[in-house]
Amino acid sequence: METSVKTPLEVFFQPQQLMVPLFQRPYVWSQDGQWQPLWDDVQRLADRLLAGGNAAPHFLGAVVLQHVLQEAGHVQGRSVIDGQQRLTTLQLLLHAAYVEVSASGNPASAQMALDLVKNPLHFARDPEHQLKLVPTNRDRPAFQTAMRQEAGDALSGRSARIEQAHAFFRASIAAWLDGKETLQAGDALVEALSNLLQLVVIELKPHEDAQEIFETLNARGTPLTAADLIKNFVFQRMDLPGNAAEEVYKAEWQHFETPFWEKEVAAGRLTYSRSSLFLNQWLVASTQADIPAKEVFGYFKRYVSESTEPVQELLPHLRRTAESYRRFTEESWQDSGVQGPLARFVYRTSSLDSEVFKPVLIWLLDDRLSPVPEAQFAKALEVIESWLVRRACVRATTKGYNRLVVDVLAMLNRADRAQVGVVLEDYFARRTAESDYWPTDSDVREQLTGMPVYRRMTRARLRMILEAIEDHLRGFTSGRPLSEQPIRRYNATIEHVMPQEWRVHWRLSESGIPEDERDARVHTLGNLTLLVQALNSKVSNGAWQMKRESLEKHATTLMTRDVLSGADGDWNEAAIDARTQRMIDAILEVWRVPASVIGLKNAEQPSLAFSITVADLLRDGALEVAQTLYAKHSLHRHVIATLGADGAFFVSGSRYETPSAAAKAVTGSQSEAGWDFWLVSQSPDVSLADVRSEAAEAAGDEAVEGEPGAEDLALV
């Protein structure tokens, strides 16, 4: 048995056939689980090459191959004992690259990709030996269909998963290549695929027991985390004698092997141990680089190799940073008492489902650097929190936050640590792009006035904002509290003053307000309050007089007393609207902006329904890359379009950026509405507009079921 780390170039270049045994399962990998993450990794590597930077190799896992004795005249054969899914996917991706790079006008790089999937003719006289991978019998026809495609061919059908994978990669590559310099982009893509991916290849001799190896590799067990790999690397690098290594382990590393750090937490589509995510965030803070969570180990090795800091000094620093991280995380979980600026920041930003600024926290607390003055530290947290909360209130995009944090860290690294709060405030005040602007008071008021926040925000996010309003009413914003304690966190119940089922007991006034207007008011800020003890359903949905009497008895929050004082004998639309403005006033006071803030420049906020793009629907799974769409008009019923990875439309080999552009190209009419023109289903007719409407409704109902436990609110 021989084990080595190889690139796809080293694995596939030589004339050979990798044969998947008949007893193995068919191809099962999917877009969400494997294709999209793999393409994201390849695209990132190629982008770095195009930018002229160095790209660290990306590890794909292990495969086991066994040499097969062949008759004379046959190419060398290997049986795929383990890893057929990743090998098949790599072959489909390489061939898709060949097709699209060839179509882009780069025959040299296209041929390099083709050389990794097909044997030269002089080595493959028999057509059966031409492909370098032979799947199971069940997958063979679909695989051969995909691998016969050439530049200009329509995307393959979607009946078999293998063909779907090939179509997905073709569409993704075509979208990535579009608009780039042909030769450089093709070269970068093929270079990334050939030499910047890595596999651990275990090669068995013909006589070795392949089944025993297979069972050992696939035995049940806990996969190694990034923290496990880093631990092994660090202690091997220190090369200490046994007793000394054990002492260092107990003092500097053992704390990572506790339930707090071993808990699996979510990060996007995947989950990682909290220790691995902490190490990821620490690396981002230390390197000012955007580091994917699953590549932490590789970046850590490079960091240690390039650093002048000895590993013996790095470990104590990591331990101290981890202790601080755990301390402020656990303090943010406490449901009562006055929180300090750090614990409050962690609690509130975690309620926003935003952990992206944790690297900035780590940088601010870095004990290797000069200390940040307490006032500037608090100001820095206030600035970031205001920026995040206000953007959440106006439903601004969160795309690009990781990159933004890297830019912020680079900027702070050049600044005076004694002025970080002022520097951060000035930085965000001058942001004007949709991806990074700091919403002004008028921006927030415009969006929150009339917004059905109960349906637009998660319960944790909305409760946190209402808690902050209550604490503001209690005087904690001004620093002159009227009460000794803020409201208890996590525990209060969000109550509608006018119930959601208002039609039973709440008659419309003689003013003639339509029912739909009242429905809209019910979920706005002015109609919501926090109750320490929930009302029973009869009272909660009862008439105003009954509910008012109950609220008067149980009005332990100032915001509920505000309801009673503002009702003026009745609770109606006018009272709700007036209270909404008072609550917005409180939000603007809690999360202030400086007078110098510019806000969003030369752009208008889109309405909710029409801010949803095809790319958004692809990202959320409502549509799929390479999905077929059909023309609605009977005259053009035969015309189909295929979706690219970035939301572009491909019709008869031409690319269109929007649904309407593609529809106009088909009909010749300049007034064609593409969202209604394109169908995702013909029986019954379901248009893109229908899918968009469903997505808008779903966005309004997001996260109304279930509540996270206190220990999970600070997680990614």
Please report which confidence band the pLDDT of residue 359 belongs to, taking 50, 70 and 90 as the band edges. very high
Task: Specify the 3-state DSSP secondary structure of 281.
Answer: helix
Task: Specify the 3-state DSSP secondary structure of 64.
Answer: strand
Q: Is-contact 542 502, C-beta < 8 A? A: no
Q: Is-contact 699 613, C-beta < 8 A? A: no
Q: Write the pLDDT tens digit of every residue in 1-19.
A: 788 899 999 999 998 899 8
Q: What is the per-residue DSSP string for 673-700?
A: -HHHHEEEEETTEEEHHHHHHHHHHHHH
Q: Which residue has the tokens 């106006």?
A: 394
Q: Which residue has the tokens 């510019």?
A: 598
CA dihedral 422, 425, 430, 433 (to 10 degrees): 150
Q: What is the pLDDT of residue 75?
A: 77
Q: Write the pLDDT tens digit of every residue in 456-484.
A: 898 999 999 999 999 999 999 888 888 77
Number of Cα atoms under 13 Å in the Cβ half of residue 25: 6
**Can you tell me the distance from the alpha carbon of 302 to that of 285, in angstroms, rounded to the nearest whole number?**
15
Token output for 653: 């080999």
Q: Is-contact 635 626, C-beta < 8 A? A: no
The residue type at 195: N
Q: What is the pLDDT of residue 334?
A: 93
Task: Specify the 3-state DSSP secondary structure of 492.
Answer: coil
Q: Write the pLDDT tens digit of every residue in 368-401.
A: 999 999 999 999 999 999 999 999 999 999 888 9
Q: What is the per-residue DSSP string for 84-132?
A: HHHHHHHHHHHHHHHHHHHHTT-HHHHHHHHTTTB--TTT--SGGGSBS
Q: Out of 245-249, 324-328, 542-546, 586-590, which region has the weakest mean confidence (pLDDT)?
A: 245-249
- With 60 as the cut, is the pLDDT of residue 700 above it? no
Q: Which residue has the tokens 């929150």?
A: 448
Q: Which residue has the tokens 């002025």?
A: 419
- With 90 as the cut, is the pLDDT of residue 96 above it? yes
Nearest to 235 by CA among 221, 261, 256: 256
Q: Is-contact 362 514, C-beta < 8 A? A: no
Taking the alpha carbons at both ends of the chain, their separation in whole angstroms is: 41
Q: What is the DSSP letter of 609?
A: G
Q: What is the average pLDDT across 430-453?
A: 94
Angle 481-486-492 from CA coordinates, rounded to 5°: 145
* Strand 133-134 to 16-19 pairing: parallel
Token output for 233: 């690397």
Q: What is the pLDDT of residue 529?
A: 94
Q: Write the pLDDT tens digit of every residue in 52-80.
A: 877 778 888 889 898 876 655 567 888 88
The residue that leads in pLDDT, 567 or 301, is 301
> What is the number of other CB atoms lying within 10 angstroms of the CB of residue 459?
17
**Can you tell me the distance from the alpha carbon of 11 to that of 13, in angstroms, rounded to the nearest whole number?**
6
Residue 408: which H helix or E strand, with range? helix 401-414
Q: What is the DSSP letter of 711?
A: G
Look at phi and psi of residue 626 and say left if phi exceeds 0, alpha if psi is from -120 to 50, else beta.
left
Q: Write the pLDDT tens digit of every residue in 581-632.
A: 999 999 999 999 999 999 888 544 444 444 578 888 887 788 988 889 988 8
User: In Å, what is the CA distance from 614 to each residue of 51, 94, 96, 605?
Assistant: 28, 27, 23, 18
Q: Which residue has the tokens 């049986």?
A: 79
Q: What is the pLDDT of residue 616?
A: 81
Task: Specify the 3-state DSSP secondary structure of 137.
Answer: coil
Burial annotation 179-188 (CB, 10 A radius, 16+ → b, else e): ebeeeebbbb
Q: What are phi and psi of 680, to 5 degrees?
A: -90, -15
Please report which confidence band the pLDDT of residue 220 belongs to, taking 50, 70 and 90 as the band edges. very low
Q: Which residue has the tokens 């898709």?
A: 96
Name residue 654's beta-bridge partners: 651
Please report which confidence band the pLDDT of residue 420 belongs to, taking 50, 70 and 90 as the band edges. very high
**Can you tell me the distance from the alpha carbon of 496 to that of 527, in angstroms, rounded to the nearest whole number?**
6
Token output for 322: 């981890």
Q: What are phi and psi of 206, to 5 degrees?
A: -55, -30
Q: What is the average pLDDT across 541-569?
A: 85
**Can you tell me the distance from the alpha carbon of 428 to that of 430, in angstroms, rounded to the nearest whole number?**
5
- With 50 as the cut, is the pLDDT of residue 222 above it? no
The residue that leads in pLDDT, 681 or 198, is 198
* Strand 685-687 to 678-682 pairing: antiparallel
Q: What is the DSSP letter of 654?
A: E
Please report which confidence band the pLDDT of residue 129 belongs to, taking 50, 70 and 90 as the band edges. confident
Q: What is the per-residue DSSP string for 165-214?
A: HHHHHHHHHHHHHTTS-HHHHHHHHHHHHHHSEEEEEEEE-TTS-HHHHH
Token output for 532: 């320490």
Q: What are phi and psi of 662, to 5 degrees?
A: -70, -40
Q: Write the pLDDT tens digit of every residue in 171-197.
A: 999 999 998 887 899 999 999 999 999
Strand order in the sheet with 640-643: 654-656, 649-651, 640-643, 628-631, 678-682, 685-687
Please report which confidence band the pLDDT of residue 167 belongs to, taking 50, 70 and 90 as the band edges. very high
- State the average pLDDT for the chain: 85
Q: Is-contact 523 453, C-beta < 8 A? A: yes
Name residue 272's beta-bridge partners: 265
Token output for 541: 């949905």
Task: Specify the 3-state DSSP secondary structure of 495.
Answer: strand
Q: What is the DSSP letter of 575?
A: H
Token output for 285: 């803070």
Q: What is the average pLDDT across 142-153?
A: 90
Q: What is the CA radius of gyration of the chain?
A: 30
Q: What is the pLDDT of residue 479?
A: 82
pTM to 2 decimal places: 0.59
Residue 358: which H helix or E strand, with range? helix 358-364
- Long-range own/partner contacts, residues 498-507 (CB < 8 A, 24 or more apart): 498/522, 498/527, 498/544, 498/571, 498/576, 499/540, 499/541, 499/542, 499/547, 501/541, 504/541, 505/541, 505/542, 505/543, 505/544, 506/543, 506/544
Token output for 486: 């803020």
**Can you tell me the distance from the alpha carbon of 18 to that of 353, in angstroms, rounded to the nearest whole number?**
45
- With 80 as the cut, is the pLDDT of residue 490 above it? yes
Q: What is the pLDDT of residue 383?
A: 97
Nearest to 655 by CA among 185, 187, 179, 190: 179
Q: What is the pLDDT of residue 702?
A: 37
Alpha helices in 567-613 (DSSP H): 573-590
**Can you tell me the distance from the alpha carbon of 251 to that of 245, in angstroms, rounded to the nearest whole number?**
10
**Can you tell me the distance from the alpha carbon of 506 to that of 509, in angstroms, rounded to the nearest whole number?**
9
**Can you tell me the distance from the alpha carbon of 63 to that of 91, in angstroms, rounded to the nearest whole number?**
14
How buried is 279 (Cβ within 10 angstroms: 0-12 exposed, 13-18 middle, 19+ buried)? buried
- With 60 as the cut, is the pLDDT of residue 33 above it? yes
The residue that leads in pLDDT, 282 or 618, is 282
* Strand 58-68 to 685-687 pairing: unpaired
